[in-house]
Amino acid sequence: MKSSPKGGLVYSTEGGRMCPECRRSLAECVCKTAARKLPLGDGVVRVIRETKGRGGKSVTLVKGLALDPLALALLGKQLRTACGSGGTVKDGVIEVQGDHCEQVIEALKNYGHHAKRAGG
């Protein structure tokens, strides 16, 4: 049997499944909640137009927003409404269908974010 540096305990009859990081039960895990509270992003909001892998169609990407997932989804909805197009939120990046960089930058400034155009 191989031993790992974190230990091999994954289940306990007293607490059920155990977190390998903090070695507490999953209901009492502190490392997952700490990771959720830290927002992603470096503080600089970048607006990018991209066409790679999309069949030549352009998509406006908004990266670097330091918001939690619910606030990010709400901001994505507001940006899509302001541009009058569709889109989604994936992995902390807001995608708006079409080339709407200038409209997205103006909308972000209205919502209090400092956004800049990135990439060509």
Locate the domains of the chain by residue range.
1-38, 45-117
* Structure token digits, residue 68: 């939690």
pTM comes to 0.65
* Structure token digits, residue 55: 């069949």
How many angstroms separate the CA atoms of 36 and 28, rounded?
14
For the domain spanning 45-117, the CATH number is 3.30.780.10
Distance of CA 66 to the CA centre of its chain: 8
Amino acid (one-letter) located at 41:
G
How many angstroms separate the CA atoms of 37 and 73, rounded?
16
pLDDT the model gives residue 1: 42
The rounded average pLDDT for each run of 10 residues, N- to C-terminus, in the chain (120 residues) is 53 67 74 56 82 89 87 91 92 91 92 85
pLDDT the model gives residue 86: 92
